[in-house]
Amino acid sequence: MRPTVHDIAAAAGVSLATVDRVLNQRAGVRSVTREKVEQAIERIGYVRDVAAANLAKSRVYPFIFILPAGDNSFMRGLEAQVRAAIARSPVERTSISIVSVPAFNAEALVAALDEAQAAAPAGVAVVAIDSPDVIAAVNRLRAARIPVVTLVSDLPGSQRDHFAGVDNVAAGRTAGSLMGRFLGGQSGSVAVLAGSMLVRDHRERLDGFRAVMDQDFPGHALQPVLEGQDDPAQVERLIDDLLTSQEGIAGIYSLGAGNRGLIAALKKRAGKAHICVIAHELTPHTRAALNDGLIDAVLNQDAGHEVRSAIRVLKAKADGVAVFGAQERIRIDIFLKDNLPFEQDAAADTPLDRGSNQEPAQGEED
Amino acid sequence: MRPTVHDIAAAAGVSLATVDRVLNQRAGVRSVTREKVEQAIERIGYVRDVAAANLAKSRVYPFIFILPAGDNSFMRGLEAQVRAAIARSPVERTSISIVSVPAFNAEALVAALDEAQAAAPAGVAVVAIDSPDVIAAVNRLRAARIPVVTLVSDLPGSQRDHFAGVDNVAAGRTAGSLMGRFLGGQSGSVAVLAGSMLVRDHRERLDGFRAVMDQDFPGHALQPVLEGQDDPAQVERLIDDLLTSQEGIAGIYSLGAGNRGLIAALKKRAGKAHICVIAHELTPHTRAALNDGLIDAVLNQDAGHEVRSAIRVLKAKADGVAVFGAQERIRIDIFLKDNLPFEQDAAADTPLDRGSNQEPAQGEED
DNA sequence: CTGTTAGCGCATTCAC
DNA sequence: GTGAATGCGCTAACAG
């Protein structure tokens, strides 16, 4: 059997209460006694049973998720995943609230962060905007000893505890590599469509993409970056303009959201020469476009995994325990029309056992 | 607060013991009483606290993992992941033993399965071989009410509870799609290198690959499949022969293991025209080859994820609770040299928090 | 058939 | 400063 607090107490010749004080670094123990207990812990190799501890404490973790509002399939999917986590709350001992803020608005985000701090939660997850004010607000949270995890878009200059998202530079590089190879010998320039250079993930993807294109595929000139604010209507206009004003566009890299607009614009030129399109995030729209051959590849980050990972990490940080790195690494999924996962009920995130007997096997996630 | 067994007892006007009997479907309760209790449970919306239950039971889950022996980087990596899980055993309340069997040997596998059954574990995970005898052995385990999860290679005809692995048909299709597009306008035939057609994952990959090549890229003829038994030396010989005897090989799809031999053979022809190579499983060898440009793409399944998933599912099956599908889906990772994850200490599976402050952020897993 | 009671590993209140 | 006692939600003897 694995050693318990009783064993420590016996080994150190003290009572349970004293052991507990040492374990939870509370005051009221002579340093000699503390010493004794710590050695006993070391000696018998004690590791705390977190489940039992949580039971005794009736612990619940109040978390706040701050997400951008707006008509953006990916973000709405992310929110659905948070809601799914809320549904699991009783089992996971969490109590999660969602705060919605206008997209690409640093001021509003700062206000939301400060408000979150006032609520004194056990942790905050936030889709960051890269600005000094936001960094300062995050650091205030940390100064108040509230764990912070950035979600999807990181904030490297800050004291955030962890980033639950993909390596966006690598994602951009991958997009560049695929673009270059898919274009093969063809000539023509390549356009880049972003949401906003305010958010770090978009900037990083652009950097990665540009680096690979410049170095490995210099034959394809890059057009100036278009910023569509992740707004479908605006994106559609931008792409319409691009395709009518420019000749010889061989590829488009859409590194943000608002792909609905892009797809609408592409549909209008059915019959003309194929443009190689690489986009981000698997949504009902990009999935359909992939199947139709309008989009050649989709790079995806699994929103469900990101949310679950953020929660696991926030819990770990709140408890001051180490997180298990390998489990929290968010992958860049590359989807061609050949490896699309079977469609799932958007938010439902069915607890059914796919890949099980009875139901058809089909490969799984996390 | 969430309702407890006491609340059920009060609501149904019975004692704790009776509630427990109903909850755990034990005998010795009049059906009227049972009825009453069940209605109370339903009415107050009770959900069992598994952590508390396990605490009370001091439950441990004895699991057996049956893995193929042999000099195969992927399988050794898989084993390392199981060992990592064993290291976590005290915390996860598991007790895992590893059984090693000769690769591609159905008879030995059947013997191992029967032996496992005799040990009466709480669950068995097995890298399956597709044969009627093995199916029968797995079904015997199930008949003995022992949960079985297939790992990496599935056994669809059997009663196995779950498959922890990737959709190999999709993997093959993806390989085909990448191969076709990477070859672009080039002419030439494509060779396929497998381990053995005895294991289902290899067969499925071949089927998927062939389907896409035939349909979308008929210009590239497929050479007869080479079977290298996942043995590096044998593979090297096969590829050497192929490349000297055949002209105009434009691509090679290596759908099994033994890539060390393939890479060795490729190295010998440095300077000659590039052959587009797509392989499976990210190992130190394929990683290096990807970086050197010898391999163009690697399709990977995350062994760590597969092992952790298998354990989660076995636990769930042992407890008779539903598994959370989304979390158990094993992805097909596509690696180009541009999105290689940072190197990790092979088996170490460091519990350090990558992507955390202090240490460089770099994206995470599961 | 049903109820009482002790205890899993840990945290905490209140005495000493 | 330290210890004894009680309870978190659930299970498992053991009585009745």
B349 shares contact with chain A (CB less than 8 Å) = yes
A212 shares contact with chain B (CB less than 8 Å) = yes
Q: According to the model, what pLDDT value does residue B357 have?
A: 41
- In terms of Cβ atoms closer than 10 Å to its own Cβ (0-12, 13-18, 19+), residue B217 is middle
Q: Under DSSP, is residue A176 helix (H, G, I), strand (E, B) or coil? A: helix
Q: According to the model, what pLDDT value does residue A344 have?
A: 58
Mean pLDDT of the region B244-250: 92
Q: Using the CB atom, is residue B30 less than 7 Å from strand C?
A: yes
- What tokens does A23 get? 């374990």
| Pairwise CB contact (< 8 Å): B331 & A185 | no
| Pairwise CB contact (< 8 Å): A351 & B323 | yes
The segment(s) of chain A belonging to CATH 3.40.50.2300 are 56-165+303-330, 168-300
Q: According to the model, what pLDDT value does residue B344 have?
A: 58
Chain centroid offset of residue A139 CA? 20
Q: pLDDT (tens digit, 9 = 90+) per residue, B31-73?
A: 999 999 999 999 999 999 999 999 999 999 999 999 999 888 8
Residues 236-265 of A with CB under 7 A from strand D: none
Q: pLDDT (tens digit, 9 = 90+) per residue, A194-211?
A: 999 988 999 999 999 999
Tell me phi and psi for residue A172, to 5 degrees: -65, -40
Q: Using the CB atom, is residue A12 less than 7 Å from strand D?
A: no
B56-165+303-330: in CATH 3.40.50.2300: yes
d(CA A178, CA A253): 10
Residue A234 Cα, gap to closest chain B Cα (Å): 31
Residue B243 Cα, gap to closest chain A Cα (Å): 24
Write down the pTM of the prediction.
0.90
Q: pLDDT (tens digit, 9 = 90+) per residue, A110-131?
A: 999 999 999 999 999 999 999 9
A147 shares contact with chain B (CB less than 8 Å) = no
Residue A206: CA count within 13 A, CB half-sphere: 20
B184 shares contact with chain A (CB less than 8 Å) = yes
Q: pLDDT (tens digit, 9 = 90+) per residue, A334-364?
A: 999 999 988 754 333 333 343 444 333 222 2
Contacts of B344 in chain A (CB under 8 A): 326
CA of A323 to C1' of D4 (A): 36
d(CA B263, CA B266): 5
d(CA B248, CA A324): 48
Percent of chain A at pLDDT > 90 equals: 83
d(CA B288, CA A68): 40
**Structural class in CATH, domain A168-300:** alpha beta
Mean pLDDT of the region A276-301: 96
d(CA A340, CA B136): 33
pLDDT at B362 over 80: no
- What is the dotted CATH code of the domain comprising B5-48? 1.10.260.40
Tell me phi and psi for residue A234, to 5 degrees: -65, -40
Q: Using the CB atom, is residue B30 less than 7 Å from strand D?
A: no
The segment(s) of chain B belonging to CATH 1.10.260.40 are 5-48
Q: How confident is the model at residue B361 (pLDDT cuts 50, 70, 90)?
A: very low
Mean pLDDT of the region A259-266: 96
Q: pLDDT (tens digit, 9 = 90+) per residue, A208-228?
A: 999 999 999 999 999 999 999
Q: How confident is the model at residue A63 (pLDDT cuts 50, 70, 90)?
A: very high
CA of B34 to C1' of D11 (A): 18
Number of helices (H), then strands (E), in chain B: 14, 11
Helices (H), chain B: 5-12, 16-23, 31-44, 50-57, 73-87, 89-92, 106-118, 132-143, 168-183, 200-216, 232-245, 259-268, 284-292, 303-319
Q: Using the CB atom, is residue A52 less than 7 Å from strand C?
A: yes
A350 shares contact with chain B (CB less than 8 Å) = yes
Q: In what order do the strands lie in the sheet with B94-101?
A: B94-101, B61-68, B123-126, B148-151, B162-164
B353 shares contact with chain A (CB less than 8 Å) = yes
Q: In what order do the strands lie in the sheet with A333-335?
A: A226-227, A189-194, A249-254, A276-280, A297-300, A333-335
Q: Which residue has the tokens 């009221």?
A: A28
- Supply the mean pLDDT for chain A: 91
Nucleotide minimizing C1' to CA distance for residue A27: D1
Specify whether the CB–CB gap between B329 and A354 falls below 8 A.
yes
d(CA A106, CA A104): 6
Mean pLDDT of the region B127-145: 97
Q: Which residue has the tokens 């696991």?
A: A312
CA of B104 to C1' of D8 (A): 51
Q: How confident is the model at residue A175 (pLDDT cuts 50, 70, 90)?
A: very high
Q: In what order do the strands lie in the sheet with A94-101?
A: A94-101, A61-68, A123-126, A148-151, A162-164
Q: Using the CB atom, is residue A145 less than 7 Å from strand D?
A: no
Closest CA to B54 of B251, B361, B319: B319
Nearest-Cα residue of chain A relative to residue B303:
A326
Mean pLDDT of the region B86-115: 96
Contacts of A166 in chain B (CB under 8 A): 363
Nucleotide minimizing C1' to CA distance for residue A18: D2
CA angle B354, B360, B364 (to 5 degrees): 35
Which residue's CA shows the smallest distance to C1' of D9? B52
- What tokens does A364 get? 């799984």
Bridging pattern class, strands B297-300 and B333-335? antiparallel
d(CA B253, CA B168): 14
Contacts of B308 in chain A (CB under 8 A): 327
Mean pLDDT of the region B172-200: 94
B359 shares contact with chain A (CB less than 8 Å) = no
